[in-house]
Amino acid sequence: MKRNFKLAKSLLATAILATAGTLCAAEPIQPIEPVKEIKLAQVELGKKLFFDPRLSKSGFISCNSCHNLSMGGTDNLKTSIGDHWQQGPINAPTVLNSSMNIAQFWDGRAADLKAQAGGPIANPGEMGFTHKLAVDVLKSIPAYVIEFKLVFGTDEINIDQVTQAIAEFEKTLVTPNSHFDQWLLGNKDAIGPDALAGYKLFKESGCVACHNGPAVGGNSFQKMGVVEPYKAKSPAEGRVAVTGKDADRFMFKVPTLRNVEMTYPYFHDGGAQTLTEAVDIMGRLQLGKKFSEAENAQIVAFLKTLTGDQPSFRLPILPPSTDKTPQPKPFN
Amino acid sequence: MKRNFKLAKSLLATAILATAGTLCAAEPIQPIEPVKEIKLAQVELGKKLFFDPRLSKSGFISCNSCHNLSMGGTDNLKTSIGDHWQQGPINAPTVLNSSMNIAQFWDGRAADLKAQAGGPIANPGEMGFTHKLAVDVLKSIPAYVIEFKLVFGTDEINIDQVTQAIAEFEKTLVTPNSHFDQWLLGNKDAIGPDALAGYKLFKESGCVACHNGPAVGGNSFQKMGVVEPYKAKSPAEGRVAVTGKDADRFMFKVPTLRNVEMTYPYFHDGGAQTLTEAVDIMGRLQLGKKFSEAENAQIVAFLKTLTGDQPSFRLPILPPSTDKTPQPKPFN
């Protein structure tokens, strides 16, 4: 607990410095800023790749299958469905605002979006492919070859470019303009009295120790089960898998609470189906606090004000395979 | 054969009458017309439903999973992947221009798009759900309840409305403005000499007997394997399953050739991976004609001019489930 509060204090100080002079300098949560600079050609290519199931062995699973941009950048399942309907070990975190994360995956094993993007493609339990085979597919499709050449200036396609383009697209997936952000920016009518009371509770109870900054989380690793142990439905042990340090057992990246109304179910194992349940468990296990029904409802009302403008773009049309394209193998 | 030509003659006559006075009255293929009248509110609702995997038992499979609008309205797999990764018995036909089909499904068992739309939802091998459970999910989501009320004017949601809205959305999925249509409409530079030679062969060899009209198919049932029997990889027996008549064994709806470059693999069993292979097999089995390599390439060049403007719309954002929404069951 002490540790968490120390961290929170330092984060608060950073946040205050970073946003000094803005309307919301005194708040531990800052508005999401719109994307100000982006490599547009990479974004357009990355958008196609994000939706292209040919990056999977089966030809059926794309990034968008589990990070569905119609559904808050998640699959809304406890754990995801992978190649041959394998049950994943962990809940698919939202891709929305993921560029703000301190690192990627629940255990932070990828430093950034680019490092993350290659993971699921080659994970036998997810897209079940290899980087080489995925690149071979792209190389066989003239429209992709031309687009990679236009974007990266070379005749070669490699996995580094693939993940770079996907990551650049993912950087566009921010969700500014939530009711809460409008409130932060000075529109005091943007959220109702319940949500405001919920925000007050959220701050005073200590939730904000971990859930702070523009993403309302995503910027630290914390233990799941501080006051009481969490009985996880997943075998995942968190950050210890990356660091090997016993102290990192059950340390997980704090998830963003942006768009949390859309990203159910909650926790790394999807163990909480509703926000009410998640708030209750978090209060008891992390803060040693049992929220009353009314308090819980107020916090939930606040959390629902964190839903921002969802990414809005035309469904990409993918260039067709050719006679030379290696065929997908869905059933072997 | 005689029968096919008789049919072709009658279809040709109809087509000529129907388009008399237009630039392309003399051709057996007519341009796709843009959608002229549509129930727009139903379309917008139907678009959401088309993309909503909560209409499946698993919460993972939507209409768009197998009729992927990024990929020519198909999954580009020989046979589709259903609930729990079940292998479907038949190739998923494209949803593009499907409003022009004489009936829906390969065996024509659904009279129209509305009748079709309910099929996969309740098929244990596809979305694996029931109409009642799918409607229960929608009823639990206030934003859907409001939208259904706005669209249909009642507080009730039923499967009839669901399939009506999906069908209305599907009516918008036409692909006008292909190079071939531009040629039909008078732009003689719209297709090259190979494609033109291919079209001539397509007409003179008899392909056009079945593949005619605006959809270049979709308007009759024909036997798969007229001159030589087709060794299908699928157990499907075609229209006999609907009519019970032995004469309808291996009678399948002639698929549209619109956007055929994007809708690989081909035939009801996905047995032909490439257009070259499909043209060769069709020539031999249906027409008793072995196309030379050059002829085949010309026909393929023609077929590639049938790719039209793909449906272009913003990815729909789906309203989130609520605490009352029945949870998906992906793993049981």
Mutate to test the interface with A, among B47, B50, B58, B60 (most CBs of A within 10 A): B60
Give me the mean pLDDT over the A181-196 stretch: 98
Which among B323, B320, B326 has a CA at the least distance from the CA of B129? B326
Whether chain A has a CB inside 8 Å of the CB on B261: the answer is: yes
Location of structure tokens 């009985």 = A231
**pLDDT score for A16:** 44
Give me the mean pLDDT over the B124-150 stretch: 98
pLDDT tens profile B72-126: 999 999 999 999 999 999 999 999 999 999 999 999 999 999 999 999 999 999 9
Q: What is the DSSP letter of A264?
A: -
**pLDDT score for B146:** 98
**pLDDT score for A191:** 98
**pLDDT score for B26:** 87
Q: What is the DSSP letter of A252?
A: E
Location of structure tokens 């900054």 = A213
Contact B174, B99 (CB under 8 A): yes
Checking if the pLDDT of A193 tops 70, the result is yes
Contact A279, A291 (CB under 8 A): yes
Checking if the pLDDT of A159 tops 80, the result is yes
For this structure, is A126 an active site residue?
A: yes
Give me the mean pLDDT over the A147-162 stretch: 97
Band the pLDDT of A8: cuts 50, 70, 90. low
What does the alpha-carbon distance between residue B143 and residue B321 come to, in Å, rounded to a whole number?
A: 9
* Chain A residues whose beta carbon lies within 8 Å of the beta carbon of residue B311: 315
Checking if the pLDDT of B9 tops 90, the result is no
Checking if the pLDDT of B17 tops 50, the result is no
Q: What is the DSSP letter of A253?
A: E
Contact A265, A234 (CB under 8 A): no
Checking if the pLDDT of B259 tops 80, the result is yes
* Chain B residues whose beta carbon lies within 8 Å of the beta carbon of residue A70: 51-52, 315-318
What does the alpha-carbon distance between residue A220 and residue A211 come to, in Å, rounded to a whole number?
A: 9
Of A28-37, B20-29, B159-168, which gets the smallest average pLDDT? B20-29
CA A10 to chain B, closest CA, distance in angstroms equals 35
Checking if the pLDDT of A10 tops 70, the result is no
Q: What's the Cα-to-Cα distance from A147 to each of A41, A64, B25, B46, rounded to whole Å? A: 9, 21, 39, 33
**pLDDT score for A173:** 98
Which among B54, B88, B131, B73 has a CA at the least distance from the CA of B261? B73
Checking if the pLDDT of B1 tops 90, the result is no
Predicted TM-score (pTM) of this structure: 0.93
Band the pLDDT of A45: cuts 50, 70, 90. very high
Q: Which of A76, A318, A330 sits opposite B77 (nearest CB)?
A: A330
**pLDDT score for B8:** 53
Mutate to test the interface with A, among B76, B91, B269 (most CBs of A within 10 A): B76
Whether chain B has a CB inside 8 Å of the CB on A128: the answer is: no
Whether chain B has a CB inside 8 Å of the CB on A320: the answer is: yes
Checking if the pLDDT of B4 tops 60, the result is no
A85/B85 Cβ within 8 A? yes
Give me the mean pLDDT over the B150-169 stretch: 98
What does the alpha-carbon distance between residue B216 and residue B259 come to, in Å, rounded to a whole number?
A: 10
**Three state DSSP letters for chain B:** CHHHHHHHHHHHHHHHHHCCCCCCCCCCCCCCCCCCCCCHHHHHHHHHHHHCHHHCCCCCCCHHHHCECCCCCECCCCCCEEHHHEECCCCCCCCCCHHHCCCECCCCCECCHHHHHHHHHHCCCCCCCCHHHHHHHHHCCHHHHHHHHHHHCCCCCCHHHHHHHHHHHHHCCCCCCCHHHHHHCCCCCCCCHHHHHHHHHHHHCCHHHCCCCCCCCCCCEEECCCCCCCCCCCCCCECHHHHCCHHHCCEEECCCCCCCCCCCCECCCCCECCHHHHHHHHHHHHHCCCCCHHHHHHHHHHHHCCCCCCCCCECCCCCCCCCCCCCCCCCC
Average pLDDT score over chain B: 94
Give me the mean pLDDT over the B36-64 stretch: 98
- Give A233-238 contacts, CB < 8 A, sequence gap 24+: A233/A78, A233/A269, A233/A270, A233/A271, A234/A79, A234/A89, A234/A90, A234/A91, A234/A268, A234/A269, A234/A270, A234/A271, A235/A89, A236/A89, A236/A90, A236/A106, A236/A107, A236/A268, A236/A269, A238/A106, A238/A107, A238/A268
Q: What is the DSSP letter of A227?
A: S
Checking if the pLDDT of B16 tops 70, the result is no
Q: Kindly give, in sequence order, each residue whose CB lies less than 8 Å from that of residue A291, ignoring residues fewer than 6 positions away.
A: A201, A205, A279, A280, A283, A299
What does the alpha-carbon distance between residue B285 and residue B123 come to, in Å, rounded to a whole number?
A: 32
Whether chain A has a CB inside 8 Å of the CB on B271: the answer is: no
**pLDDT score for B232:** 93
**pLDDT score for A41:** 98
pLDDT tens profile B289-315: 999 999 999 999 999 999 999 999 999
What does the alpha-carbon distance between residue A100 and residue A164 come to, in Å, rounded to a whole number?
A: 16
Type of residue numbered B61 = I
Checking if the pLDDT of A158 tops 70, the result is yes
pLDDT tens profile A109-118: 999 999 999 9
Q: Kindly give, in sequence order, each residue whose CB lies less than 8 Å from that of residue A157, ignoring residues fewer than 6 positions away.
A: A135, A138, A139, A144, A145, A148
Give me the mean pLDDT over the B53-59 stretch: 98
* Residue in chain A lying closest to B321 (CA): A262
**pLDDT score for A20:** 39
**Three state DSSP letters for B173-210:** CCCCCCHHHHHHCCCCCCCCHHHHHHHHHHHHCCHHHC
Q: Which of A27, A126, A168, A170 is catalytic?
A: A126
Whether chain B has a CB inside 8 Å of the CB on A235: the answer is: no
State CA B235 to chain mean position distance.
Answer: 20
* Residue in chain B lying closest to A323 (CA): B274
State CA B7 to chain mean position distance.
Answer: 22
Give me the mean pLDDT over the A59-85 stretch: 98
Whether chain B has a CB inside 8 Å of the CB on A326: the answer is: no
Whether chain A has a CB inside 8 Å of the CB on B310: the answer is: yes
What does the alpha-carbon distance between residue A152 and residue B174 come to, in Å, rounded to a whole number?
A: 34
Give me the mean pLDDT over the B179-192 stretch: 98
Q: How many contacts, defined by CB atoms under 8 Å, are there between A and B?
A: 101
Q: Count of H helices and E strands in chain A? A: 12, 4
B62: tokens are: 């939507």
**pLDDT score for B18:** 46
B321/A264 Cβ within 8 A? yes
More confident residue, B131 or A11: B131
What percentage of chain B exceeds 90 in pLDDT? 91
Checking if the pLDDT of B216 tops 90, the result is yes
